[in-house]
Amino acid sequence: MISIRYATIKDAAAITAFNSAMAMETENKQLPPQTVEIGVKTALTNQEYGFYLLAESDGNPVGQLMITKEWSDWRNGEFWWVQSVYVSPDYRGKGIYKQLYEKVKELAKTDGNVCGIRLYVDNDNEVAQKAYTKLGMTTTNYLLYEEDWTND
């Protein structure tokens, strides 16, 4: 049986490992472990940055996602952004992400201030794109641009 719960600081090591594995699998990037650990702990101890949800099987983390919030002045509400999605290889194809996403929707709808849920996905990650579409998400007219200073 899978249970979904909010992550705590005690989950930092598992989330750090999941984030590092995700970066390698999806973008072939080896992230500096200490940077990821500090980033995870910062998010876990500062709710203004968002929150993590963990999926567990028999008390062991098997999946995760992070929610960050973006204020929309156009809609007078928050968009919740799904980030840092990861499911352990042995648990893929078993509906873990679906359960995490359903929990996000439940929390968002009871929050009273959320106007929608968004995420971004790599153009080449067709498996993830199919999963998101299957759960009712659609592509938008927006393109994502960035100026990434982490490698300066």
Tens-place pLDDT, residues 53-102: 999 999 999 999 999 999 999 999 999 999 999 999 999 999 999 999 99
> Is residue 57 domain-resident?
yes
> Is residue 145 domain-resident?
no
Cβ–Cβ < 8 Å for 118, 79: yes
Tokens at 33, concatenated: 């472990």
Q: What is the C-alpha separation between 48 and 62, in angstroms, rounded?
A: 25
Number of domains in the chain: 1
Q: Does this model's pTM top 0.85? A: yes
pLDDT in the model for residue 124: 87
- CA 12, distance to chain mean position in Å, is 14
Res 26 pLDDT > 90: no
Q: What is the C-alpha separation between 69 and 128, in angstroms, rounded?
A: 21
Q: What is the pLDDT of residues 35-52, one digit of tens each?
A: 999 999 999 999 999 999
Q: What is the CATH number of the domain that holds 128?
A: 3.40.630.30
Tokens at 93, concatenated: 């194809």
Tokens at 113, concatenated: 């201030």
> Is residue 33 domain-resident?
yes
Bridge partners, 148 (sequence order) = none
> Is residue 151 domain-resident?
no
DSSP 9: G
Residue 64's φ and ψ, nearest 5 degrees, are -160, 165
Q: Which domain holds residue 56?
A: 2-134
Confidence tier at 122 by pLDDT (50, 70, 90) = confident
Q: What angle do CA 132, 9, 62 make, to 5 degrees?
A: 40
> Is residue 93 domain-resident?
yes
